[in-house]
């Protein structure tokens, strides 16, 4: 067996044993179906169209929602009690669900605060009510 074949076999094994992890939601087990229209995505996505199409195919073909990992959504309570849902990652998954015209997306809610949001948005952080 050539060294290229061994490397390919090792890479395939690594891919099969890969566990999707998130620094934010690693300890969050519950997955919610969050309405797409409440999620705020303030940073424009740069998408790999082939990846989005592949995710769309996977979502269409499987009834098992765990096949595509949930996105992480920061859940922030405004100063007057409003609920705000921000997502910064999972852009390909979000685009796939959006293009499939799905009303909800599987997501892990991470209770957060305005200070965390400022980490992402800096001086552009809105006044959440």
Q: Cα(70)–Cα(87) distance, rounded to whole angstroms? A: 11
For residue 83, pLDDT beyond 70: yes
Order across the sheet with 32-35: list the strands. 32-35, 104-112, 71-77, 83-86, 39-40
Q: pLDDT band for position 99 (50/70/90)?
A: very high
- What integer pLDDT is reported at residue 65 of this predicted model? 82
Once rounded to an integer, what is the mean pLDDT over residues 43-69? 95
C-alpha distances in angstroms, 62 versus 21, 33, 37, 57, 65?
A: 21, 16, 23, 9, 7
**Predicted TM-score of the model (pTM):** 0.79
């Amino acid at each position: 067996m050539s060294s290229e074949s061994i490397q390919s076999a090792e890479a395939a094994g690594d891919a099969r044993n890969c566990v999707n992890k998130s620094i934010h939601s690693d300890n969050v087990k519950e997955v919610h179906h969050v309405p797409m229209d409440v999620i705020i995505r303030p940073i424009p996505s740069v998408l790999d169209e082939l990846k989005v199409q592949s995710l769309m195919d996977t979502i269409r073909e499987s009834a098992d929602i765990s096949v595509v990992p949930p996105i992480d959504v920061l859940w922030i309570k405004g100063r007057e009690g409003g609920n705000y849902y921000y997502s910064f990652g999972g852009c390909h998954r979000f685009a796939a669900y959006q293009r499939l015209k799905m009303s909800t997306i599987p997501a892990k809610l991470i209770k957060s605060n305005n200070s965390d949001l400022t980490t992402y948005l800096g001086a552009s952080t809105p006044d959440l009510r």
